[in-house]
């Protein structure tokens, strides 16, 4: 019932993802949400963010920040890392996922999206057939409209986990 919202993968943190494995699988572009994916909501790029993007660029990845935030917020965040950006992205609308790939020079098959929200990040990526990774939000303190979305995310994540466990049992069974 909720499959259109199921992430391809769900991990604890952006910083726990095996980027080397993604590269070996042929991925060359990574789209990132910012708030609660890379830093706390409203936070600036810190040492950990800078180190991650330096590593990704060294590995050969093109990266793009794709955010529903305004230009000022996205530009301020990007000052320390210097990657492609798409602001006012209107996720889950499809258009700016394609635009971000155009900026990076990547294709759908070689691009992955990483974000913390099901109804914007994951659903938008799924709408165009892009691989996606859902991460747990960094901070539970969020704006009211996001807190409300999280209430609706819970049953979807519950069903996703249940079906994932069943698939693993069947595979190992």
Q: What is the largest CA-CA distance in the chain?
A: 52
The dotted CATH code for 7-14+24-139 is 3.40.50.1000
**Residue 37 in 3-state DSSP?**
coil
The residues spanned by each domain of the chain are: 7-14+24-139
Q: What is the pLDDT of residue 159?
A: 79
Distance of alpha carbon 31 from alpha carbon 122, whole angstroms: 11
Q: What is the pLDDT of residue 1?
A: 61
Per residue in 79-128, pLDDT (tens digit) is 999 999 999 999 999 999 999 999 999 999 999 999 999 989 999 999 99
Q: What is the pLDDT of residue 120?
A: 92
Q: In angstroms, what CA-CA distances link 103 with 24, 40, 58, 131, 172? A: 22, 26, 18, 18, 41
Helix (H) or strand (E) holding 170: helix 144-172
Residue 164 per-residue DSSP state: H
Per residue in 17-75, pLDDT (tens digit) is 999 999 999 999 999 999 999 999 899 999 999 999 999 999 999 999 999 999 999 99
Q: What is the mean pLDDT of residues 10-23?
A: 97
Distance of alpha carbon 47 from alpha carbon 54, whole angstroms: 10
The residue behind tokens 């303190």 is 141
Residue in 163, 117, 146 with CA at minimum distance from that of residue 3: 163
β-strands 9-11, 131-135 pairing? parallel
**Residue 130 in 3-state DSSP?**
coil
Mention every residue, 6+ apart, whose C-beta is less than 8 A from residue 173.
Answer: none
Mention every residue, 6+ apart, whose C-beta is less than 8 A from residue 107.
Answer: 101
């Amino acid at each position: 019932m909720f499959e259109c919202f199921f992430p391809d993968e769900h991990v604890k943190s952006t910083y726990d993802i095996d980027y080397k494995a993604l590269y070996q699988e042929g991925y060359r572009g990574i789209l990132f949400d910012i708030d609660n994916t890379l830093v706390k909501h409203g936070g600036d790029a810190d040492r950990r963010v800078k180190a991650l993007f330096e590593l990704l660029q060294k590995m050969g990845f093109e990266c793009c920040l794709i955010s529903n935030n305004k230009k000022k917020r996205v530009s301020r965040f990007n000052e320390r890392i210097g990657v492609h950006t798409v602001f006012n992205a209107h996720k889950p609308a499809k258009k700016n996922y394609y635009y971000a790939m155009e900026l990076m020079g990547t294709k759908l098959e070689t691009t992955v999206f990483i974000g913390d929200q099901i109804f914007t990040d994951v659903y938008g990526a799924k709408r165009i057939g892009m691989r996606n990774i859902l991460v747990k939000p960094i901070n539970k303190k969020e704006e009211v409209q996001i807190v409300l979305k999280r209430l609706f995310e819970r049953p979807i994540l519950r069903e996703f986990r249940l079906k994932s466990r069943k698939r693993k049992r069947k595979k190992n069974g």
